[in-house]
Structure 1
Amino acid sequence: MSGGKAVGGVGGVGLLAIVVIGYFLGIDVTPLLEGGGQISTGSQSTEITRADQQAAEFVSVTLADTEEIWTEVFSEQLGGEYIPPILVLYKGVTQSPCGSASGATGPFYCPQDQKVYLDTDFFTTMSRQLGASGDFAQAYVVAHEVAHHVQNELGTLSQANAYRAQASKAESNAVSVMIELQADCYSGIWAKMADEKFGSIEHGDIREALNAAKQIGDDTLQRNAGRVPQPHTFTHGTSEQRQRWFATGYKTGDLASCDTFSTSAL
């Protein structure tokens, strides 16, 4: 995908495709169209590129897969109903109840409106700057953010955040790591179930997900930024932890195996 110069505006059928994708598959593309759409009036306009359209199509398929999988997991393991999130696809900058979002923010889940926010350029950032390329690496990122919604549906996220609001900085960071590693584990459950249900996952796909988990570990990110890793500042977990918890979810497919809050060894 090209995150730079626009390769011509995606108008007509392309623009319609993005709108249809959003309408039927739970993606809010309003920020994308308002902030970056070639619905221009006058000489100045920012275009929706082919890469933006590809991102919209890709995340729509991944989101639909997560909805189907988590509906099944909630039914079989919890005897409950899964209510899926909305994914907000934007370009550049947008606003959320959790604050403003930009490409520098990275994908995130906002529990206040139960939406996942994703910049269309982030996949390019993953590949070119973070060294995490491949379709399944991208799918892992979407699945990880959806996993935060799963935590919210289960009440885990609100309890953890309530504790963090009253804890010291170090304690808050430690709980944040538990939240993120559980989301990685839930992502592994999604991958296992998707493999069994759709049969579309290859061994190389799991390697892509594990590599993505490695590249966005706190220690790796700090090291790549020229800093000595500082464990007390970690908020997402080390590369090893993120890979291991994803693998745990993938191996077991069991929500109970992802209890990062009770284990004695993260």
Structure 2
Amino acid sequence: MRWQGRRQSDNVEDRRVNGDNGMGGSRGGFGGGLGRGMGRGMGGPAFNIVRGGGIRGIIILVIMFFVLKFIGIDPWTVLFNDGSMPAQTQSQQSGRSVAQGGQVQNDEMTQFVRTILAETEDTWSGIFQSQGAQYPAPSLVLFKDRVSSACGTASSASGPFYCPGDKKVYIDLTFYDELANRFRASGNFAQAYVLAHEVGHHVQNLLGILPKFNQMRQNMSEVEANKMSVRVELQADCFAGIWGYYTEQKGLLETGDLEDALNAAHQIGDDTLQKRSQGYVVPDSFNHGTSEQRAKWFKRGFETGKLDACDTFSGAI
């Protein structure tokens, strides 16, 4: 994939330097990832002081804030070690990914995901504009080991995920090593597919699909919810394919790129993952779709480039 030298998105939060062990918050509903669950956090240092001490805790917090500031220590980093620093302390720097504490990482993989995010912004902005609507782009959060979001606290084992509660995509970039080594899916277009899939969930959120599913699944059995989840995930695959369609139209794809993406879709199918991990499959537990289904719906979006081709909720999938 020819991605070097293209626009890079500024909608990136880099939390890899100091980590992010803050308050998990309340669940934001179904978001979508690669099939591994998320936990919940307990709160950052400042949150624990206020929660445990009432008015007295607030007074202690204010005193600590000014003492730390007086001795030259950033109080936001110490007291709110959860990515919740004020916007003015996280100002964007042109062409770079901003990290907590003001430190910046701008390695090749960071540049790559910033570029892919920018390409999804261009694609979906154009599609929404053609429908007379605006596309509010999601933020991409880069983290290491553990992160807090509006959907709870997650470890790297959760894999990349989208949280509708804060409209952000989360990824630990070491996942791409796992994608190549454990899932046997290499190639930068395969890596791009993963990010485009999560952005696909953001599109679903904007279209009202995720909120509707979250409401419906409250009255569903686990098996029924899993079946509906599969349809949601396959549509996100199809939306990722739509992004691929427009990427090909720009002349950015190279020989073998489509095959790499289809292989990635195949390798992270529920049946393939279950066979690899436990030697057998349990269809009622599928919540992302089989390898055949995932590749099929990505390819459908890739070949048509049309939203109406991605209706996974009508008929067989």
| TM-score of the pair, normalised by structure 1 | 0.82
How do 1:155-194 residues align onto structure 2 when only pairs under 5 Å count?
A: 155-194=208-247
Higher relative contact order (CA 8 A, sep 6+): 2
Which structure carries more helix by proportion? 1
1:3 corresponding residue in structure 2:
none
Counterpart code for 2:10: L
Given the alignment, which residue of 45, 57, 60 partners 2:114? Answer: 60
CA distance in 1, matches of 2:174, 2:139: 19
Identity across matched positions, percent = 48
2:263 corresponding residue in structure 1:
211
Unaligned 5+ runs, structure 1: 1-20, 37-50
2:293 corresponding residue in structure 1:
241
Given the alignment, which residue of 9, 12, 25 partners 1:27? Answer: 12
After superposing the two structures, state which structure 1 stretch, 158-167 or 86-95, moved more.
158-167
Give the CA deviation at 1:228. Answer: 1.2
Contact 1:26 / 1:86 at 8 angstroms: preserved in 2? yes
C-alpha change, 1:161 and 1:227, in structure 2 (3 Å) is farther
Q: Give every structure 1 segment of 4 or more consecutive aligned residues whose post-TM-superposition deviation is greater than 3 Å.
A: none
Q: Which has the larger radius of gyration?
A: 2
How do 1:48-197 residues align onto structure 2 when only pairs under 5 Å count?
A: 53-76=107-130, 78-196=131-249
SS state at 1:33 partner: coil
Give the CA deviation at 1:162. Answer: 1.2
CA distance in 2, matches of 1:211, 1:145: 17
CA distance in 1, matches of 2:109, 2:152: 23
CA distance in 2, matches of 1:73, 1:100: 33
Counterpart code for 1:93: R
CA distance in 2, matches of 1:52, 1:134: 20
Is structure 2 residue 272 aligned with structure 1 residue 223? no
Is structure 2 residue 310 aligned with structure 1 residue 265? no
SS state at 2:206 partner: helix
Give the CA deviation at 1:57. Answer: 1.1
SS state at 1:101 partner: strand
Contact 1:28 / 1:86 at 8 angstroms: preserved in 2? yes
CA distance in 2, matches of 1:261, 1:139: 25
Counterpart code for 1:217: G
CA distance in 1, matches of 2:175, 2:108: 13
Give the CA deviation at 1:33. Answer: 2.2
CA distance in 1, matches of 2:262, 2:114: 22
Contact 1:52 / 1:121 at 8 angstroms: preserved in 2? no
Give the CA deviation at 1:52. Answer: 7.7
Counterpart code for 2:205: N
CA distance in 2, matches of 1:53, 1:224: 32
SS state at 2:16 partner: helix
| Root-mean-square deviation over aligned CA pairs | 1.6
SS state at 2:279 partner: coil
SS state at 1:59 partner: helix
CA distance in 2, matches of 1:233, 1:134: 29
CA distance in 2, matches of 1:207, 1:161: 33
Contact 1:25 / 1:63 at 8 angstroms: preserved in 2? no
Give the CA deviation at 1:79. Answer: 2.1
Counterpart code for 1:240: E
CA distance in 2, matches of 1:184, 1:231: 19
| TM-score of the pair, normalised by structure 2 | 0.69
